[in-house]
Structure 1
Amino acid sequence: MKGIEGKFLRTILRVFALLSAISVAGVAFDSRALAGPALLGEEPIVIKPTAREPATIAIPTFDVVAAAGQERFNEIVYNDLAMTGYFQRCSNQGFVEETHQSDAKRGNVDFAEWKRLGAMFLLKGSCQVSDDKLVATCYLYYVPTGKRILGEQFFSTADKPRVLAHYISDRIFWYVTGNDGVANTKILYVSLTDTARRNSEVWCMDADGAGAFQVTNENSLVATPCWGSNGTEVYYTSWKNYNPDLYGIYLKGGSAWTISYSAGLNVSPAWSQARKKIAMTLSKDGNSEIYTVDRDGKNLKRVTFDRPIDASPSWSPSGDDIAFTSDQAGTGSPQVYMMDADGGSKRRISFVGSTYCDSAAWSPKGDKIAFVARQNGRFDIYVAEIDGSNPKRLTSGEGNNEDPSWSPNGLMLAFASDRSGSSQIYVVNSDGSNVRQITRRGQNTAPAWSPFLYGTPKR
């Protein structure tokens, strides 16, 4: 029991520009506002590249008309698609640009030449500003057959080129793989802001690590942020009143409100959109237990009644079950367990030969559990079926890897690692491939990947 308490306390103690509303012609920003009518020649195709066998895509620099600052539009799309692991860029961008210019002079696409460059897909596009709106026209081709599989116009306000580029990336990802893309999602994390005082704040960034902004202004230690109701709220723990209390704040701004301020721990919130409830860890009765509560702090209900410590809850997508950390056996060997939402039917689900498993994260599809296990003195990320079978180790031999959080499409995870010498945020595909570092400054922990914030592109 003492072991889990030490790790649990270590975890929680490690630890504007607010997101403005985006609109198109006065309409709230979402997928419908972005996508214009399909252009002639659209022919969807799904070829199912994988993270192990990525498809090569060529993206020449977008033709720019009176749209200063959009010259790197293609680079944003490139990076978004590469982050998924399902795409890789053509090896020589210089040849890509030369071939694109040759196409323009000739007035048609030389697919044989693009094939010689190794491209399976080709994206050509243009950007222009019209009436303070950014208009991007995109054509996606399947090079082996020369077929155009996407022809579409996309719109956003002129000051949001990254958002528009992310949306185009997600559109391409959907058309090629049949899966929702996550380029337009965000990741919360805790960043150490004052090394002398050990103060930290909750920050938020795009899924590629760009566009970071500070969410909280606590001037204190904060920990364990999670996304709240409809992806518009953030719940987190702060020590600003000299006790680890639980607070909520709107991502778009405003004052924080108190959710739970019981004596002792009020930590590790997890929001269930299905139940409209927060699961969290409280120690007000002398032992860490799992409770549920409304987002306004009402209707507090104790879920676990165990002598060992229970901590770190994670809801199933349906809201019917909760995964959590506990030393049910009382041996000082914490493991990951699952229980019904009312606390019944507890069963162990971590079986990887480790005496220390923690930090369960339920996949958005409800079919997998990610968790952390200690092996040979270091922490690594595992993914298993929800009954604990078929565990797969995603990280190995590179520092401590903790705090897994699923992307909303269930294809990637964000996690914190000290492999570079400081704690930073990384993303990895759910099969362990394509590890990418997305923060580089300071000390950053506790990533929490957002749900889909603006809807998802559909055919």
Structure 2
Amino acid sequence: MRGAINVPSARCSAVLACAVAIAAGCTDPPTRARAPSPGAPLFARGGEGAGPPQSIAFYSNRDGNAEIYLMDPDGSDQTRVTVHPASDVEPDLSPNGQSIVFTSTRSGNADIWLLDLRTGALENLTNTTATEGWPRWSPNGQQIAFQSNRDGNFELYVLDLRTRELTRVTTYAGVDQYPEWSPNGKTLVLRRDMDVWTLDLRTGALTQLTTHPALDQMAAWSPNGKQLAFMSLREGYCSVFLMEADGSGQVNLTPKAPADPASAWCSRAPSWSTNGQRILFMSLRPGTGGSAEIFSIAPDGSDLTRLTTAPGDDGMPTAR
């Protein structure tokens, strides 16, 4: 886990320790990735003008530091799209697949950056001395929600890309992080302190969905808006859970093997495929060589599939 920028440790014990600190304040596809030359124009994957439907954006440090990559839903055609010595993490593809927002330290601190996949043009959307991260596109592609501590503690903000108007949407003395838009664009799901909440952007009404003493966070809506996948530490290790949109029916989708120590398992940062038939997530577990890799699983917990096998950490997948 992290404050706003998240370059995860491969050790689950470190992840657990960081989560506590924040709270207090299968098939193996090919993984050889193409990398653009520094300064070279980016090309569109799968055709002229944009990436193909259901591309997956993710970060990887396989080349020595965290960069943004794209791949197809089956894990093939892994393509590096950023080249910078700083850390680039937390990518989210635009609804039309033509741009990526991500968190980067290339300006000296964690800011939100916009990358045009057609031209390679980059823009720093926040450009402050604060720590900002977890950018997420609105369903209509006109706004970006993100977290920032620019006002002293982590709150949620929405940036209108047409007018560049910035709106602070939470005001809370604790921690508000990990915003995700509902499919209709009217609600954000978020972490508030130790639990998952929703925020109605029209009325400001907040609803608490989880009440477990352990940390619950990183929630993501299913495409039909009926379910939420989220990360929980309630079993003693980070695991991906599923619940109904009203908070009922919470179930662990990624339980560890009973004989394994909790420190050997950590599954988190879930997101959904565009058709709602798969949940993507990053996971450290026996067999991943001490690093996090990207997996997908059916919402009923069946058909676990590993999508990356490269050395180093791969994580934070999002699909369009």
**Aligned twin of 2:120:** 254
**2:255 aligned with 1:392:** no
Give the deviation of 1:240 after TM superposition. 0.9
Runs of 4 or more consecutive aligned structure 1 residues displaced over 6 Å after TM superposition: none
% identity of equivalent residues: 28
**Aligned twin of 2:73:** 207
**Aligned twin of 1:382:** 241
The 1:297–1:307 alpha-carbon spacing in structure 2 relative to 1, beyond 3 Å, is farther
The 1:286–1:29 alpha-carbon spacing in structure 2 relative to 1, beyond 3 Å, is closer
282, 290, 300: which one aligns with 2:166: 300
Q: Which amino acid is the alignment partner of residue 229 of structure 2?
A: A
Rg larger in 1 or in 2? 1
**Aligned twin of 1:449:** 319
**2:5 aligned with 1:8:** no
User: Aligned-pair RMSD on alpha carbons?
Assistant: 2.2
Give the deviation of 1:392 after TM superposition. 2.0
Unaligned runs of 5+ in 1: 1-6, 31-162, 164-183, 328-333, 451-459
294, 309, 314: which one aligns with 1:440: 309
**Aligned twin of 2:292:** 423
CA distance in structure 2 between the partners assigned to 1:29 and 1:306 by the alignment: 39
**Aligned twin of 2:22:** none
Q: Which amino acid is the alignment partner of residue 283 of structure 2?
A: S
**Aligned twin of 2:189:** 323
Q: Which amino acid is the alignment partner of residue 111 of structure 2?
A: D
**2:47 aligned with 1:22:** yes
**Aligned twin of 2:16:** none
Number of residue pairs the alignment of both structures matches: 278
Do 2:282 and 2:295's aligned partners in 1 also have CA atoms closer than 8 Å? yes
Greater RCO, 1 or 2 (C-alpha within 8 Å, sep 6+): 2
**2:148 aligned with 1:282:** yes
Q: Which amino acid is the alignment partner of residue 258 of structure 1?
A: N
249, 259, 275: which one aligns with 1:409: 275
The 1:29–1:371 alpha-carbon spacing in structure 2 relative to 1, beyond 3 Å, is closer
* Structure 1 length-normalised TM: 0.57
215, 223, 246: which one aligns with 1:356: 215
**Pairing of 1:130-209 with structure 2 (within 5 A):** 185-195=54-64, 199-209=65-75
The 1:296–1:219 alpha-carbon spacing in structure 2 relative to 1, beyond 3 Å, is farther
Q: Which amino acid is the alignment partner of residue 197 of structure 2?
A: Y
**Aligned twin of 2:260:** none
Deviations 1:231-256 (A, max 9, x none): 21100011012110110112234221
Give the deviation of 1:258 after TM superposition. 1.3
Q: Which amino acid is the alignment partner of residue 200 of structure 2?
A: D
Do 1:304 and 1:343's aligned partners in 2 also have CA atoms closer than 8 Å? no
Deviations 1:96-144 (A, max 9, x none): xxxxxxxxxxxxxxxxxxxxxxxxxxxxxxxxxxxxxxxxxxxxxxxxx
Deviations 1:366-415 (A, max 9, x none): 11111000034311111111110111211101510001010011111110
